[in-house]
Amino acid sequence: MLIIKRLFITLGSVALLSVVLALSAPKAVHAVVAALVQVTNTTANPVPVMDVLASGEQTVELACTFSPGNCVQINTDGSYINTPWAVPAGMHYVITSVEITTLGAGGPVTIVSTNFLLYWTPPGGSLREEAWQVINNGATTQYQFPSGIVVSSGSTITCQSAGAVNFGYVRGYLAPN
């Protein structure tokens, strides 16, 4: 019991001494400690602060047209650029979501389910394909990819509907290589 009492007195004394020393330290010591963890953003040594996911200039939305199967960019005003879209040089396109709307079973197409496919071939690489199967009920199905599907620089994305897809949208953002 005596040993435990002495241990608590020793630990209490060390804690009290630490608090007294911390409070009595000169302001210069506090300034040095603060300077060690301070980040300064200067033109000579810039600190990157841009969140790529939040940057409007980096976001790219594609509409997939099934004749001839191109994916074209949708501008922020809703207009389309009517040429097949390719991932710009020095960038990767990270697909974060795919939205698929079917024609619906009550229409002229009586297919129960349908497929939506994306293709791209990186320069010097082999064909890549992603595909999703959805129920043909006229509803919109959206797939989210938190970690993203990465499309390499220079790739042109094309699409195909193996059934009754009415609309296909691909959303993502550009990231540096």
Q: What is the pLDDT of residues 46-72, one digit of tens each?
A: 666 555 554 555 889 999 876 667 888
* Residue partners of 76: CB distance under 8 A and separation at least 6: 56
Residue 42 located in a structural domain: no
Confidence (pLDDT) at 116? 86
Residue 102 located in a structural domain: yes
Q: Distance between CA 67 and CA 72 in Å, rounded?
A: 12
Is there a contact between 161 and 71 (Cβ–Cβ < 8 Å)?
no
Strand 158-162 relative to strand 113-120, pairing:
antiparallel
CA angle 138, 144, 149 (to 5 degrees): 120
In this structure, what CATH number is given to the domain that contains residue 95?
A: 2.60.120.340
Q: Do 33 and 97 sit in the same domain of this protein?
A: no
Q: Do 25 and 101 sit in the same domain of this protein?
A: no
**Mean of pLDDT values over 139-163:** 89
Residue predicted with more confidence, 103 or 156: 156
Least confident of 10-14, 88-92, 98-102: 10-14
Q: Do 97 and 156 sit in the same domain of this protein?
A: yes
39 — pLDDT class (breaks 50, 70, 90): low
Confidence (pLDDT) at 154? 93
Q: Do 15 and 97 sit in the same domain of this protein?
A: no
Give the chain's domain count.
2
Q: Distance between CA 155 and CA 174 in Å, rounded?
A: 13
Q: What is the mean pLDDT of the chain?
A: 78
Q: Do 97 and 154 sit in the same domain of this protein?
A: yes
Residue 172 has pLDDT above 90, yes or no: yes
Residue 47 located in a structural domain: no
Confidence (pLDDT) at 98? 94
Domain membership of residue 70 as a residue range: 52-176
Q: Which tokens in the block code for residue 89?
A: 């040089």
Residue 129 has pLDDT above 70, yes or no: yes
* Residue partners of 106: CB distance under 8 A and separation at least 6: 138
Confidence (pLDDT) at 170? 94
Residue 46 located in a structural domain: no
Residue 101 located in a structural domain: yes
Confidence (pLDDT) at 64? 86
**Mean of pLDDT values over 69-78:** 86
Residue 134 located in a structural domain: yes
Confidence (pLDDT) at 166? 76
Residue predicted with more confidence, 82 or 88: 88
